[in-house]
Amino acid sequence: MTQTPTVRPELADVPTGAFIAGQWRALPRTFTVDTPHDGSALAQVADCGPQEAVDAIEAALVAFDTWKLDNFKRAEILSRWADLIDEHAPQMARVMALEMGKPVTEAHGEIGGGNGYIRFYVDAARQIAGERVPSRFAHKRGLTRSEPLGVVYAVTPWNFPMSMIARKAAPALAAGCTVILKPAEQSPLTALLLAELWRQAGGPAGTLQVLAASDPASFSKPFFDDIRVRKIAFTGSTDVGRLLYAQAATTLKRVSLELGGHAPTIVFADADIELAVRESIVSKFRNAGQTCISSNRFYVHESIAEQFADAFALAASKLKVGDPLDPATEIGPLVDDQGHAKVSAHVADAVERGAAFQTGGQTLTGRYFAPTVLSGVQPGTLMLREETFGPVAPIVSFSSDEEAVRLANDSEYGLAAYVFTRDLSRAFRVTEALEYGIIGVNDGGPVGAAAQAPFGGFKNSGVGREGGHWGLDEYLQVKYVSFGV
């Protein structure tokens, strides 16, 4: 049975239709978005299917013909979009807190960081240029043009409902592509609000379209079948990424995949322990551990393992768990019952295999889980292999640098890693040996507000990069033109 949600003030003007060809379209089919705080219904959102997908593709193709022509116009509209997002940040942060449980203070940070990407690509849009290519013949001149790929289908996860969109839509739109975005089922409201702000910023019809769907596989099929959709930009789990990679092969679409992670943190004997604890609280507990670059396993030198575990557990136990709408909250609920069940199962498995609680371990009410630190975690424990996606930190001790690097690299993933040491030579040696796309040395937030930096992973953590010029290149193709003169 469909629940009828009571409209909350921050949601009153958030659209719930499908944003197709510059218009809000109501659909007879809807699905419920709830809040992880207490499971109550927030909104009924238009549930798009293959027909809406086809309509969006047609509108995106029409829009592309004009949108690709004027870099400066694109920069102007993106800039207005960024201004409107800043203006609506307090509302957007509350929408995000409501729909996926991120503490509202953190949500503000995400919006600021995401908007940093939009502003970065405002500048980049104005600078898209070509190169002069030398010729061995005196009568020839070679030039390149960087041209947009065309229609992009972007699929985003729930854990960063704003910034995952900004990192794709901003470079794609700056490059001159048109974008059809499908947000995650758990967090479509932030995306729909972004679409409305794009409309208000003067974004032409069909340039950015946002369609939510409760059945992502059937909704997505037309995009993969249509050769005129030239790019898939995906952030989400490795399993789904692999599936989309295979589907994109038939029409040889360009693909960017930002997938799962399993970040190791290595704390060497010479580390500044206070700093390692402070930074690791950020890398582990931000978004209640539901972050692809979240530290999932801690390797600590045996000589300081106890000292680190005590200090880290004390800091974790002080984190304020509670209602995500409360500005003082540091840990909100887990996004859904499935996520909560996975975290509980990982903790039960670790304890069964001999790990001891330093702090936490309790399931609180509903989808809340207490910040948890475990020591003496044994090899073979699930959380040392799989993404936990929760506020749980397992500590394992090591005795040599080689062992630490071997343990850290022993993963199918290669997204982020963290290293704490005061020895510069060791920092160089270890960062060169780690098979990870992003490394923080004495830094638990290496990509915080870093739109200019490349974000992406090695191995099963993905294909391609977001951010910086790397992120723009993902949406451009090079044309070479030779002139006989």
Q: Is 453 in the site for ligand NAD (CB under 6 A)?
A: no
Q: Does 166 bind ligand NAD (CB under 6 A)?
A: no
Least Å from the CB of residue 437 to ligand NAD: 9
Q: What is the DSSP string of 214-270?
A: S-HHHHHHHHHH-TTEEEEEEES-HHHHHHHHHHHHTTT-EEEEE----EEEEE-TT
Taking CB under 6 A as the rule, which mask of x and - marks residues 269-308 in contact with ligand NAD? -----------------------x----------------
Residue in 30, 32, 237, 251 binding ligand NAD, rule: CB under 6 A: 237
159 binding ligand NAD? (CB under 6 A): yes
Tokens for 90, please give them: 């307090």
Position among 17, 113, 206, 236 found at the interface with ligand NAD (CB under 6 A): 236
If DSSP codes are grouped into helix, strand and coil, which group holds residue 451?
A: coil
**b/e per residue 54-93 (b: at least 16 CB within 10 A):** ebbbebbbebbeebbeebeebbbbbbbbbebbeebbebbb
Q: Is 258 a catalytic residue?
A: yes
User: Which member of 387, 419, 430, 472 binds ligand NAD (CB under 6 A)?
Assistant: 387
Which amino acid type is present at position 48?
C
Residue (128 or 244) nearer to ligand NAD, CB? 244
Q: How far is the CB of 97 from ligand NAD (least distance, A)?
A: 17
The interface region with ligand NAD, picked from 114-122, 257-265, 325-333, 443-451 by CB under 6 A, is 257-265
d(CA 391, CA 454): 26
Q: Per CB under 6 A, which region of 28-36, 102-110, 182-190, 391-399 contacts ligand NAD? A: 182-190
- For 386, the token pair is 């799989």
> 403 to 422, contacts with ligand NAD by CB under 6 A?
415
Q: Which of 261, 324, 361, 444 binds ligand NAD (CB under 6 A)?
A: 261
Distance (Å, whole) CA 455 – CA 239 = 20
Phi and psi at residue 448, to the nearest 5°: -60, 125
One of 158, 268, 285, 420 touching ligand NAD (CB under 6 A):
158
Angle at the Cα of 164 (from 29 to 168), degrees rounded to 5?
Answer: 95
The overall longest dimension of the chain from CA atoms, in Å, is 77
243 contact partners, CB below 8 Å, separation of at least 6: none
- From 52, 258, 279, 474, active-site residue: 258
Query: In the bound complex, what is the minimum distance in angstroms from residue 243's beta carbon to ligand NAD?
Result: 6
CA–CA gap between residue 288 and residue 368 (Å, rounded): 9
Radius of gyration over every alpha carbon of the chain, rounded to an integer in angstroms: 23
Nearer to ligand NAD, 237 or 431 (CB): 237
Choosing from 292, 330, 387, 474, the catalytic residue is 292
Alpha-carbon distance 425 to 462, whole Å? 29
Site string for ligand NAD, 185-224 (x = CB under 6 A): x------------------------------xx--x----
Q: Pairing state of beta strands 140-148 and 132-133?
A: antiparallel
Q: Which range binds ligand NAD by CB under 6 A, 63-71, 94-102, 239-247, 357-365?
A: 239-247
Site mask for ligand NAD (CB under 6 A), range 43-82, x = bound: ----------------------------------------
Work out which of 55, 106, 258, 279 binds ligand NAD, going by CB under 6 A.
258
Residue 268 Cβ vs ligand NAD, minimum distance, rounded to whole Å:
26
Residue 292 is a catalytic residue: yes
The whole-angstrom separation of Cα 53 and Cα 46 is 13
In angstroms, the CA 408 to CA 284 distance is 16
463 phi and psi, to 5 degrees? -135, 125
Query: Per CB under 6 A, does 369 bind ligand NAD?
Result: no
* Residue 168 and residue 466 in contact, taking contact as beta carbons nearer than 8 Å: yes
Is the CB of residue 121 less than 8 Å from the CB of residue 472?
Answer: yes
The stretch among 18-26, 39-47, 73-81, 252-260 that binds ligand NAD (CB under 6 A) is 252-260
Regarding 240 and contact with ligand NAD (CB under 6 A), the answer is yes
Q: Which residues are catalytic?
A: 258, 292
User: Residues in the site for ligand NAD, rule: CB under 6 A?
Assistant: 155-160, 182, 184-185, 216-217, 220, 235-237, 240, 243-244, 258-261, 292, 387, 415, 457, 462
